[in-house]
Amino acid sequence: MAKVVIDNVRKVYPNGTEALSPSSLSIEDGEFIVLVGPSGCGKSTLLRMIAGLEDITEGTISIGERVVNALDPAERDIAMVFQNYALYPHMSVYKNMAYGLKNRGMPKADIDAAVQKAAKLLHIEEFLARKPSQLSGGQRQRVAMGRAIVRDPALFLFDEPLSNLDAKLRNQMRIEIRKLQRELGVTSIYVTHDQIEAMTMADRIAVLNTGKIEQIGTPAQIYHTPASIFVASFMGAPPMNILDGHYNGNGGLEIKDLGHVAVDHTLEVTGDIQVGIRPENVEIHQAEEPHTIPIKVDFLEELGAGRLLHTTIGNTPFIAHLDNEHQINGETVFAHLPARALHLFDASTGRRV
C-alpha cells in the first residue's frame, strides 16, 4: 500500500521516439487509476517505467516514500498483470503463483499459505495442479491475477489485462478486479484503451494523447467537464458531437448551420470556437418550438435501451440519443441544444474555454 508520485517523467526510446513528454501524476494510497488513450499514446510506456521494465529518461518515480528509478523490477514491491497473461507454460498454476515468492526465499509453508489463500479468493483452487495450456482464457486471467496477489505488493500494474477476453467475461472480470482491489486496498494503475473499462473501474482517470496527459480526473469530471476536444470525443459512446462556431463576446454564440445560441457566461476568448454536445443532451421535439432547429432524420439506430438518431448538420455527422418513450414521426424533427449542456473549446488549441 503506497502513494505513487510520478514527477516530470519523460521517455525517449533509443531510436529517438519521444513516447512520453514530461508528465506528472500523483496517486493516492489505495487509489485505482486508469490510464486511457488511443493506441500508441504512451500508456504502456509509462506503466513499464513504473514497473522498472523500461529506463526512465528524465524525472523521478517514487513508490511509497522510495524513489525507484534505479531499482530492479523485483525490488520495487510491485506486481504486474500482462495482456497475454505471461504465465510460465511449463509450470503448474501453483508453481506459477509460487515462483516469485520462492525467489524471495520465503519459507515453503508461507508460500503454500499465500498461494492457497489467493487461489481461494479467485476460485481457482481446483486448477492448481494444471498447466496454463489446460485452462480457458478467463481462468488464465485469474491465475495471472493470483500471481500478482500472492506477492502482496504495494502497487498493482495492469496492462490491458482483459483485452483477450470475450465481452461477457470482460464485464464480469472488470467487476471482479475492482471488487478485489477494494478488498485488498492495494494502489493500482490500470492501462486500457477501452473507455468503458476506464469509466467503470477508475477512481480517477488519466487520459493520454500522443505522449501527453490531457486530463486527470474522476470519471464524472472527465465525462462532464472534458478539458479538451480530444478528451471530449474520446470518452463517451457514441462520442460527443462537435460543431464549428463563432463567439463575438457579449454572450453571442453562433453555431455554424444552426444559428444563434444564448450562453449565460462570458467567455475569455473571442473568435472561432468548437461547440460540443453529448448525444443524450440533445432535446428532440416533434413540433417546432422556440430555440429549436429543424433536422432531417437520416436513420435510427436501435440500441434496445433507447435509439440513436443520426443526421448531419452542415457536413458534420450529428447524433442524438432518444429514450424509448420518445416517438418519432416523419422525416423532420426539431432539435434543441440546451446552453447548459454545451462544451466550448478553443478552436486553435482544442482546450476547454
Partner 1 sequence: MSSSDLQAPTSTTIATASAAAARKKPFALRQIIDHVVLIAGSLFMLVPVLMAFFTSSHTDVTVHTNGLQMTFGGHLAENYYEAMLVPGGFTKTVDGMRMLMNSFILGIGFSVGKIIISMLAAYAIVYFQFRFATLAFWAIFTTLLLPLEVRILPSYEIVQGMGLVNTYTGLIVPLIASATGTFFFRQFFKSVPNELIEAARIDGAGPVKFFIDILVPLSKTMIAAIFIIMFVFGWNQYLWPTIMTTDESFFTLVRGIKQILNVFIGAQIPEYGQAMALAIVAMVPPVLVVVIFQSWFVKGLVESDK
Buried b (16+ CB within 10 A) or exposed e, 17-34: eebbbbbebebeebbbbb
φ/ψ bin of 185: left (φ > 0), alpha (ψ from -120 to 50), beta (otherwise): left
* Minimal distance, residue 208 CB to partner 1, in Å: 21
Selection from Mg ion, partner 1, ligand ATP, none that 239 binds (CB < 5 to 8 A by kind) is: none
Measured CA distances, 44 to 36, 47, 161, 190 (Å): 10, 5, 12, 10
Based on the shown chain and the rule CB under 5 A, indicate whether residue 45 belongs to the binding site for Mg ion: no
Based on the shown chain and the rule CB under 8 A, indicate whether residue 90 belongs to the binding site for partner 1: yes
Q: Which residues pair with 34 in a beta bridge?
A: 190, 205
Longest dimension (CA), the chain: 77
* Minimal distance, residue 90 CB to ligand ATP, in Å: 27
Residue 228 CB neighbour total at 10 angstroms: 19
Helix (H, G, I), strand (E, B) or coil at 304: coil
Over the window 136 to 175, marking each residue x when it contacts partner 1 by CB under 8 A and - when it does not, the resulting string is: -----------x----------------------------
Based on the shown chain and the rule CB under 6 A, indicate whether residue 45 belongs to the binding site for ligand ATP: yes
Q: Which of 340, 215, 337, 344 is nearest to 269 (CA)?
A: 344
347 within 8 A of 272, measured Cβ to Cβ: yes
Query: Which helix or strand (DSSP H or E) is residue 21 part of?
Result: strand 18-27
Selection from ligand ATP, Mg ion, partner 1, none that 78 binds (CB < 5 to 8 A by kind) is: partner 1
Radius of gyration of the chain (CA): 24
Q: Out of 15, 39, 103, 327, which residue is the one contacting partner 1 (CB under 8 A)?
A: 103
The grid cell for 219 is 470519471
Q: Residue 199 carries which DSSP code?
A: H
* Minimal distance, residue 45 CB to ligand ATP, in Å: 3
Based on the shown chain and the rule CB under 6 A, indicate whether residue 15 belongs to the binding site for ligand ATP: yes
Applying CB under 8 A, the span of 66-74, 174-182, 188-196, 333-341 interacting with partner 1 comes to: 66-74
Based on the shown chain and the rule CB under 5 A, indicate whether residue 215 belongs to the binding site for Mg ion: no
Could you say which residues in the range 181-210 bind Mg ion, by CB under 5 A?
none
Beta carbon nearer to ligand ATP, 37 or 276? 37
Measured CA distances, 323 to 158, 327, 335, 342 (Å): 36, 9, 14, 20
* Minimal distance, residue 142 CB to ligand ATP, in Å: 22
Applying CB under 8 A, the span of 75-83, 202-210, 215-223, 283-291 interacting with partner 1 comes to: 75-83
Nearest-angstrom CA–CA distance, 51 and 71: 10
Q: Out of 13, 218, 285, 288, which residue is the one contacting ligand ATP (CB under 6 A)?
A: 13
Over the window 245 to 284, marking each residue x when it contacts partner 1 by CB under 8 A and - when it does not, the resulting string is: ----------------------------------------
Q: What are the residues binding ligand ATP (CB under 6 A)?
A: 13, 15, 17, 19, 37, 39-45, 193
Question: Which residues in this chain contact partner 1 in the complex, by CB under 8 A?
Answer: 51-53, 72-74, 78-80, 82-91, 99-100, 103-104, 131, 133, 147
Which spans of this chain sit near Mg ion (rule: CB under 5 A)?
44
